[in-house]
């Protein structure tokens, strides 16, 4: 059996659409298994297109009924039609109306793309190419039309009928049915279409824009969950205010709606005026959601809302430009969260995510540019590279041209391209004009894949009072890109002495803290350096690179103590720990450097000043961080062991200090998800987690007490995870209790599943298999699958990578079982194999065999075939 041939789409083949659609009238008659759609399109030839051929509409698995041209039923020889396309052989030269009737079965739609049912509600997901599963259309983002949507359904089944825009009409019909008509005045691409119908509860509020317009806000959820949307509503209002203040962007419709559904492939979707969310990112109560859940709700509500301008008002010309809206919108939501919470803490968390998700993608077979130039399946490009590295690129742009020019460039972008579908080049041109800079070299960030390495070397000349810094860029080869051109890096830096930053000069002027490295290699000579400095490079992680610099322990301790940049103070703690961990991987008997223990003791002693920051500094680099640092021939077992040894040592040497931290880091008053309180909880729980690694009864008793007395999910979950990891009867008891407490709450049971899937124990694989039979589990629901299977393969390095290959085989079987029903979900799971080449030979061989077995199966979805083939290439 050979691999399926995939037909790639290439950026170079982009052509403007041959036809334009000005208006769309959709008439949707909802029935559970027999929904009827009539779509009436007003079409005309695109004056910018030279193509003269037939009109070809996209379709996917549609059942065709009838078509009308300008109101007259079309004879069958006038068109050809299949489930996957419709063409009109001789379209009129003048504008015309084409109406097409199709039927579909929402209940049978398990892909969760197009129109489907989630529990008892009907909903849609159209990005990227789901609209063609609803009706035949020019399903591409550069065809912008004005939509009017009429929905008709049984009143009893679906009292709520929603679509984009404003509701302009509604009424009752015979036979217990009713209808609503919605009109969205803003032209939009089909991927932003949405419709929801069902028996849903609603929470309403309002927002007054800065120009004084009243906007009605509505959040729809399943009955009984109304009390869980207050935080989402609050986050929405703060997002609306922030976008006015930070970017001058006001909301544009009279109503903004959010619907939470429990079956959703991704996080959420920015449909115009009608965002549809994975309920996980809407529902949050102190008793059911952790601090990180609250932060994620806030960030994703903001992200989808911000898309209204960066994505909806200005959209993408084609799907290669996905980062135009995603990278920019992630940047915007990161800035929002930074302003709402602690900027350094947010930055550190974002960089942790970037390194763990994006660097590992960029260093493996699935590496691709932020703006890819070829794809087999666009759904596989909603990646950490497009989103997170895409956001980093926007951040670097701002750093390089400065805040003012960046703001002016954004204003120009909004003004010049409102209502258009544009490209990365259009975006960058706005900033080139605003800053009067040539951004040609900067464009390489969108084109060249792989994580660049910056190699730094420094030398202090005591006599001359100078410091010589050489920076070199190394651009590793990546799939399809063996050779690369030098890129442009904004590098924030400072020289640090015992008392803090030294007031140095560069080129005779006071140094402002930023250099732009454009060459393969460059030397900088800093003046006025009166004492031996420690270079603090890449402050704030000013570029998404791997920095290599030889800093000894003393230098790291200086940075840890005296660096004015909080990011690099945190980085120093991580670099120090990583040094020790790498030694322990090589030799588990290596004694732990007492200076490190003393440094951690110092962190704890000063912890109260900034608990969230201290918690981050206290946390050791993850197993994947260590593996990435090792780079090749990784033995996940040895990595895990090294980390355990360091944790045990710290726990034993610092037990008293850790227990004291747990005691003083209490949070007075009722729970609030606010950053200050969350920070105290994170330090308390970080200390708890670490002290329990020592395994003493004192430590485990503290965890049990916290589990029994917690009044919020953050503390309860932290105690549960710690106890479960201890693999003691106390852990078993906690797991049993937790399961009973939250029996009726799927999102909380997901956490319980995840905790168990993560355990670095031999028995975990069998446990995961067993949990698949838990009545709360379902292979049909993406959240359930991600909580159990996704956690197992992405957050359990030792057990997914079992030396006998059983972890791989188990996950492969599940992927193959899910693929026929939900290819996107299956393909996402398969991405867990992305670092297989860096494993030691035994596991590498087993992982490769599993991937090959998947790739050879007949009838794979394009999604899974694409990931399997690229992983093996």
Question: Which chain residues interact with Zn ion by CB under 5 A?
Answer: 326, 329
Q: How far is the CB of 220 from ligand ARG (least distance, A)?
A: 18
Quote the radius of gyration of the chain (alpha carbons, Å): 28
Q: How far is the CB of 738 from ligand ARG (least distance, A)?
A: 31
222 makes contact, choosing from Zn ion, ligand ARG, none, with CB < 5 to 8 Å by partner type, with none
Chosen from ligand ARG, Zn ion, none, partner binding at 618 (C-beta under 5 to 8 Å by type): none
The DSSP call for residue 835 is G
Active site residue: 304, 361, 388, 716, which one? 304
Integer angstrom CA distances of residue 647 from 7, 770, 841: 49, 30, 28
191 CB-contact burial (10 Å; exposed 0-12 / middle 13-18 / buried 19+): buried
CB nearer to ligand ARG: give 535 or 790: 790
Q: How far is the CB of 57 from ligand ARG (least distance, A)?
A: 21
Mask 374-413, x = binds ligand ARG (CB under 6 A)? -----x--x-------------------------------
Q: What are all long-range contacts of 568-577, with beta carbons under 8 Å and residues at least 24 apart?
A: 568/536, 568/537, 568/538, 568/539, 568/540, 569/617, 570/344, 570/348, 570/613, 570/616, 570/617, 571/538, 571/541, 573/599, 573/603, 573/617, 573/618, 574/617, 574/621, 574/625, 575/551, 577/620, 577/621, 577/646
Question: Quick one: what does residue 557 bind among Zn ion, ligand ARG, none, with the CB cut-off 5 to 8 Å set by partner type?
Answer: none
Smallest distance, ligand ARG to C-beta of residue 635, A: 35
Residue 379's binding partner among Zn ion, ligand ARG, none (Cβ under 5 to 8 angstroms by kind) is ligand ARG
Beta carbon nearer to ligand ARG, 536 or 824: 824
Least distance in angstroms from the C-beta of 325 to ligand ARG: 7
Report the site for ligand ARG in 248-267 (rule: CB under 6 A).
265-266
**Contact positions with ligand ARG (CB under 6 A) in 819-858:** 824
Handedness of CA 350, 355, 361, 367 (dihedral sign): positive
User: Which stretch in 281-289, 299-307, 424-432, 508-516 sits in contact with ligand ARG by CB under 6 A?
Assistant: 299-307
In whole angstroms, what is the distance from residue 714 CA to residue 681 CA? 8
322 binds ligand ARG (CB under 6 A): no
Nearer to Zn ion, 267 or 527 (CB): 267
Q: Judged by CB, which is closer to ligand ARG: 127, or 361?
A: 127
Cβ 117 to ligand ARG shortest distance, Å: 17
Q: Give the torsion sign (CA, 246, 258, 829, 854).
A: negative
In the complex, least distance from residue 827 CB atom to ligand ARG, rounded to whole angstroms = 10
* Cα–Cα distance for residue pair 439/447, rounded to 1 Å: 13
Contacted entry of ligand ARG, Zn ion, none for residue 269, CB cut-off 5 to 8 Å set by kind: ligand ARG
Residue 866 partner contact from Zn ion, ligand ARG, none using kind-dependent CB cut-offs of 5 to 8 Å: none
CA dist., res. 671 & res. 678, Å (int): 9
**HSE-CB for 821 with a 13 A CA cutoff:** 16
CA atoms within 13 A on the CB side of 807: 31
Give how many residues touch ligand ARG by CB under 6 A. 14
CB 283 within 8 A of CB 747: yes
Task: Single out the residue of 430, 422, 168 nearest to residue 312, CA to CA.
Answer: 422
Whether 183 and 245 have beta carbons less than 8 Å apart is answered as no
Interaction residues for ligand ARG, span 109-148 (CB under 6 A): 127-128
Contact call for residue 270 and ligand ARG (CB under 6 A): yes
Q: For the residues of 500-558, what is the DSSP string, one character each?
A: EE---EETTEE--SEEEE-SSEEEEEEE---S--EEEESGGG-SS-EEEE---HHHHHH
Nearer to ligand ARG, 139 or 625 (CB): 139
**Residue 228's binding partner out of ligand ARG, Zn ion, none, with CB under 5 to 8 Å set by partner kind:** none
Beta carbon nearer to ligand ARG, 357 or 624 = 357
- Beta strands of 83-176 (E only): which ranges? 85-88, 96-104, 114-118, 121-125, 145-154, 160-163, 166-172
CB of 381 to ligand ARG, least distance (A): 8
Instruction: Work out what residue 98 binds among ligand ARG, Zn ion, none; the CB cut-off runs from 5 to 8 Å by kind.
Output: none
Cis peptide before 128 (omega within 30 of 0): yes
Spatial distance between the Cα atoms of 30 and 262, rounded to a whole number of angstroms? 20
Residues 746/754, Cβ–Cβ less than 8 Å:
no
How far is the C-alpha of 114 from the C-alpha of 101, rounded, in Å?
Answer: 16
**Phi–psi pair at 276, nearest 5 degrees:** -115, 130
Residue 268 or residue 384: which is nearer to ligand ARG going by CB? 268
Q: Which residue in this structure is represented by tokens 């956690």?
A: 791
Considering only the stretches 253-261, 301-309, 662-670, 674-682, report the one whose residues sit in contact with ligand ARG under the rule CB under 6 A: 301-309
Stretch that binds ligand ARG, among 286-294, 302-310, 350-358, 698-706 (CB under 6 A): 302-310
Which is closer to ligand ARG, CB of 322 or CB of 675? 322
Q: What are the tokens at 246?
A: 């930070």
Exactly one of 269, 301, 475, 826 binds ligand ARG (CB under 6 A); that residue is 269
> By C-beta, is 277 or 576 nearer to Zn ion?
277
64 touches 100 (CB < 8 A): yes
What minimum distance in Å lies between the beta carbon of 758 and ligand ARG?
Answer: 26
Q: Which does 298 bind (CB under 5 to 8 A by kind): ligand ARG, Zn ion, none?
A: none
Q: Is 367 in the site for ligand ARG (CB under 6 A)?
A: no
Residue 265 binding target from ligand ARG, Zn ion, none, CB below 5 to 8 Å by type: ligand ARG
At its nearest, how many Å lie between Zn ion and the CB of residue 269?
8
Beta carbon nearer to ligand ARG, 81 or 378:
378
Compute how many other C-beta atoms are within 10 angstroms of the C-beta atom of residue 78: 14
Sign of CA dihedral 824, 826, 829, 834: negative
Q: Give the x/- contact pattern for ligand ARG in 679-718, rule: CB under 6 A.
A: ----------------------------------------
806 catalytically annotated: no
Give bridge partners of residue 218 from the DSSP assignment. Answer: 204, 257
Binding site for ligand ARG (CB under 6 A): 127-128, 265-266, 268-270, 303-304, 307, 326, 379, 382, 824
Positions annotated as catalytic residues are 304
């Amino acid at each position: 059996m050979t691999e399926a041939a995939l037909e790639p789409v290439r950026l170079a083949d982009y052509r403007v659409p041959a036809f334009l659609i000005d208006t769309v009238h959709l008439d949707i008659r909802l029935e559970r298994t027999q929904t009827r759609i009539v779509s009436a399109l007003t079409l005309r030839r695109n004056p910018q297109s030279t193509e003269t051929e037939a009109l070809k509409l996209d379709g996917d698995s549609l059942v065709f009924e009838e078509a009308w041209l300008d109101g007259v039923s079309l004879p069958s020889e006038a068109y050809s039609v299949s489930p996957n396309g419709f063409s009109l052989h001789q379209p009129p030269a003048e504008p015309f109306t084409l109406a097409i009737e199709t039927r579909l079965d929402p209940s049978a739609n398990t892909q969760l793309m197009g129109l489907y049912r989630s529990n008892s509600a009907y909903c849609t997901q159209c990005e990227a190419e789901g609209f063609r599963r609803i009706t035949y259309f020019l399903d591409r983002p550069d065809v912008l039309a004005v939509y009017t949507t009429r929905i008709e359904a049984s009143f009893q089944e679906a009292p709520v009928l929603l679509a984009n825009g404003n509701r302009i009409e509604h009424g009752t019909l015979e036979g217990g049915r009713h209808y609503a008509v919605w009109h969205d005045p803003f032209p939009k691409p089909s991927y932003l279409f949405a419709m929801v119908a069902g028996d849903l509860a609603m929470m309403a509020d309002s927002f007054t824009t800065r120009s004084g317009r009243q906007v009605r806000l509505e959040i729809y959820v399943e009955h009984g969950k109304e009390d869980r949307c207050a935080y989402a509503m609050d986050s929405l209002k703060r997002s609306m205010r922030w976008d006015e203040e930070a970017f001058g962007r006001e909301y544009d419709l009279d109503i903004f709606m959010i619907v939470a559904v429990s079956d959703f492939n991704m996080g959420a979707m920015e449909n115009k005026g009608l965002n549809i969310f994975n309920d996980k990112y809407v529902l949050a109560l102190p008793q059911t959601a952790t601090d990180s859940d609250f932060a994620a709700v806030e960030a994703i509500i903001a992200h989808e809302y911000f898309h209204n301008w960066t994505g909806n008002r200005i959209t993408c010309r084609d799907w290669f430009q996905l980062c135009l809206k995603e990278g920019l919108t992630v940047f915007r939501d990161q800035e929002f969260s930074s302003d709402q919470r602690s900027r350094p803490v947010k930055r550190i968390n974002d960089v942790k995510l970037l390194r763990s998700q994006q660097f590992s993608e960029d260093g493996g077979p699935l590496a691709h540019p932020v703006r890819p130039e070829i794809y087999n399946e666009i759904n596989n490009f909603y990646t950490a590279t497009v989103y997170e590295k895409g956001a980093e690129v926007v951040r670097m742009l701002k750093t390089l041209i400065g805040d003012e020019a960046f703001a002016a460039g954004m204003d120009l972008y909004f003004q010049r391209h409102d209502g258009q579908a544009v490209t990365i080049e259009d975006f960058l041109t706005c900033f080139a004009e605003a800053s009067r800079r040539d951004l040609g070299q900067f464009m390489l960030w969108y084109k060249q894949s792989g994580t660049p390495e910056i190699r730094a070397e420094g030398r202090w000349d005591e006599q001359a009072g100078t410091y010589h810094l050489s920076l070199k860029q190394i651009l590793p080869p990546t799939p399809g890109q063996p050779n690369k051109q030098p890129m442009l890096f904004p590098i924030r830096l400072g020289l640090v002495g015992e008392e803090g930053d030294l007031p140095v000069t560069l080129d005779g002027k006071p140094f402002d803290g930023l250099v732009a490295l454009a060459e393969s290699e460059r030397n900088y000579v800093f003046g006025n350096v009166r004492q031996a400095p420690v270079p603090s490079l890449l402050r704030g992680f000013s570029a998404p690179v791997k920095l290599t610099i030889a800093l000894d322990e003393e230098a790291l301790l200086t940075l840890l103590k005296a660096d004015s940049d909080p990011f690099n103070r945190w980085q120093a703690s991580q670099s120090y720990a990583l040094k020790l961990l790498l030694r322990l991987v090589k030799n588990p008997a290596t004694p732990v450097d007492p200076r490190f223990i003393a440094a951690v003791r110092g962190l704890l002693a000063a912890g109260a000043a900034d608990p969230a920051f201290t918690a981050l500094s206290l946390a050791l680099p993850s197993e994947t961080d260590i593996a990435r640092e090792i780079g090749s021939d990784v033995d996940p077992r040895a990595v895990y062991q090294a980390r355990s040894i360091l944790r045990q040592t710290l726990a034993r040497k610092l037990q008293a200090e850790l227990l004291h931290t747990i005691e003083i880091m209490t949070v007075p008053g009722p729970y609030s998800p606010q950053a200050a309180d969350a920070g105290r909880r994170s330090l308390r729980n970080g200390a708890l987690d670490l002290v329990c690694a020592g395994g003493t009864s004192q430590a485990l008793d503290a965890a049990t007490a916290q589990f029994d007395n917690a009044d919020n999910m953050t503390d309860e979950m932290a105690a549960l995870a710690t106890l479960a990891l201890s693999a003691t009867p106390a852990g078993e008891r906690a797991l049993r209790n937790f399961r009973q407490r939250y029996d009726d709450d799927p999102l909380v049971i997901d956490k319980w599943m995840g905790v168990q899937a993560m355990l670095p124990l031999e028995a975990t694989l069998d446990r995961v298999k067993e949990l698949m039979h838990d009545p709360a589990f379902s292979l049909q629901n993406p959240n359930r699958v991600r909580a159990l299977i996704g956690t197992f393969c992405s957050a359990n390095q030792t057990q997914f990578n079992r030396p006998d290959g059983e972890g791989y085989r188990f996950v492969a079987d599940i992927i193959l079982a899910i693929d026929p029903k939900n290819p996107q979900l299956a393909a996402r799971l398969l991405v867990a194999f992305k670092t297989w080449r860096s494993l030691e030979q035994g596991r590498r061989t087993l992982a490769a065999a599993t991937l090959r077995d998947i790739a050879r199966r007949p009838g794979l979805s394009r999604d899974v075939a694409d990931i399997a083939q690229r992983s093996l290439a």
